[in-house]
């Protein structure tokens, strides 16, 4: 298990150069507009999304990467049992990978995901961001909104 930090950056090349030098590792995956680092020490999955939106928040979302689906299922049960607003996605294509995940939404809108990468794929998603929490999900805890990742 490792924490994930997903950032929006305006200059992907400069950000990749900085984080490569900061953590001493090359990106694990690099695609147009996207890069991720699997850092051993500290255990961190750093994800960079290139954006030209001057108003975009720097913090895209936070997450916890796990290695087994049972860990995603456990997170789903815990989040659901606590009555937290959430959205479950199975075998969704995001970040050039097929994933199982659950998104949880904190009161001020920060998005957290618990996820497992099933497999890396070459398919390029149209966008890769956490789905916005529909109003109905806040009341019921689950959402039928489609993934926009």
Domain-wise residue ranges, the chain:
2-140
109 pLDDT above the threshold of 90: no
pLDDT tens for 34-69 read: 999 999 999 999 999 999 988 788 999 999 999 999
Share of the chain above pLDDT 90, in %: 70
pLDDT tier for residue 125 given thresholds of 50, 70 and 90: low
Distance of alpha carbon 43 from its chain centroid, rounded?
16
Residue 129 vs residues 40, 49, 77, 88, 92: alpha-carbon distances, Å: 24, 9, 23, 14, 12
- How far CA 94 is from CA of 20, 61, 108, in Å, comes to 23, 13, 24
pLDDT of 128: 59
When pLDDT is cut at 50, 70 and 90, the band that residue 134 belongs to is very low
Please state which CATH number belongs to domain 2-140.
3.10.180.10
Q: What are phi and psi of 148, to 5 degrees?
A: -110, 30
Q: Which residue has the higher pLDDT, 91 or 135?
A: 91
Structure tokens at 128: 């890769």
Q: Which of 16-20, 56-60, 64-68, 125-129 has the lowest mean pLDDT?
A: 125-129
CA dihedral 108, 95, 114, 25 (to 10 degrees): -100
């Amino acid at each position: 298990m490792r924490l994930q930090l997903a950032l929006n950056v305006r200059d992907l090349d400069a950000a990749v150069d900085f984080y490569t030098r900061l953590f001493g590792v090359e990106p694990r995956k690099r695609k147009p507009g996207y890069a991720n680092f699997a850092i051993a020490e500290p255990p961190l999955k750093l994800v960079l999304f290139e954006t030209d939106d001057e108003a975009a928040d720097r913090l895209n979302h936070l997450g916890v990467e796990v290695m087994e689906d049972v860990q995603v299922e456990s997170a789903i049960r815990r989040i659901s049992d606590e009555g937290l607003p959430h959205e479950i996605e199975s075998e969704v294509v995001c970040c050039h990978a097929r994933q199982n995940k659950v998104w949880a939404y904190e009161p001020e809108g920060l998005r957290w995901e618990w996820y497992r990468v099933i497999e890396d794929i070459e398919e390029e998603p149209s966008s890769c961001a956490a789905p916005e929490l529909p109003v109905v999900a806040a009341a019921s805890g689950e959402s039928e909104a489609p993934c926009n990742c």
